[in-house]
Amino acid sequence: MDGNGRWARARGLPRSEGHRQGVEALRRTVRHAADRGVEILTLFSFSSENWSRPPDEVSTLMGLLRLFVRRDLAELRDANVRVRVIGERAGLDPSIDALLDEAERTTASNDGLDLVIAFNYGGRNEIVRAARRIAEDVAAGRLAPAEITEAMFADRLDTAGLPAPDMLIRTSGELRISNFLLWQSAYSELVFLPTYWPDFDAAAFDAAVAEYLGRDRRFGGLSARVGG
Reported residue count of the chain is 228
Is residue 5 close enough to count as binding ligand IPE by CB under 6 A?
yes
The least CB distance from residue 90 to ligand IPE, in Å, is 21
Is residue 158 close enough to count as binding Mg ion by CB under 5 A?
no
Residues in 2-31 that interact with Mg ion by CB under 5 A:
2
Is residue 195 close enough to count as binding ligand IPE by CB under 6 A?
no
Query: Quick check: 110 and 139 in contact, CB under 8 A?
Result: no
Query: Quick check: 103 and 69 in contact, CB under 8 A?
Result: yes
Is residue 6 close enough to count as binding ligand IPE by CB under 6 A?
yes
d(C-alpha 17, C-alpha 10), whole Å: 12
Nearer to ligand IPE, 197 or 200 (CB): 197
Phi, psi for residue 219 in degrees, rounded to 5? 50, 40
d(C-alpha 96, C-alpha 196), whole Å: 27
Nearer to ligand IPE, 1 or 130 (CB): 1
- Figure out which of the listed residues 20, 25, 41, 46 binds ligand IPE, where binding follows CB under 6 A: 46
- Figure out which of the listed residues 30, 33, 41, 61 binds ligand IPE, where binding follows CB under 6 A: 61
- How far, in Å, are 13, 162, 189 from residue 219 at the CA level? 44, 18, 10
Is residue 123 close enough to count as binding ligand IPE by CB under 6 A?
no
Residue type, 220: G
Nearer to ligand IPE, 87 or 130 (CB): 87
Is residue 2 close enough to count as binding ligand IPE by CB under 6 A?
yes
d(C-alpha 94, C-alpha 45), whole Å: 18
Q: What is the dihedral of CA 197, 115, 208, 177, to 10 degrees?
A: 70
Catalytic residues: 2, 50
Is residue 179 close enough to count as binding ligand IPE by CB under 6 A?
no
Nearer to ligand IPE, 22 or 123 (CB): 22
Residues at the site binding ligand IPE, with contacts judged by CB under 6 A: 1-6, 22, 46, 50, 61, 172, 197
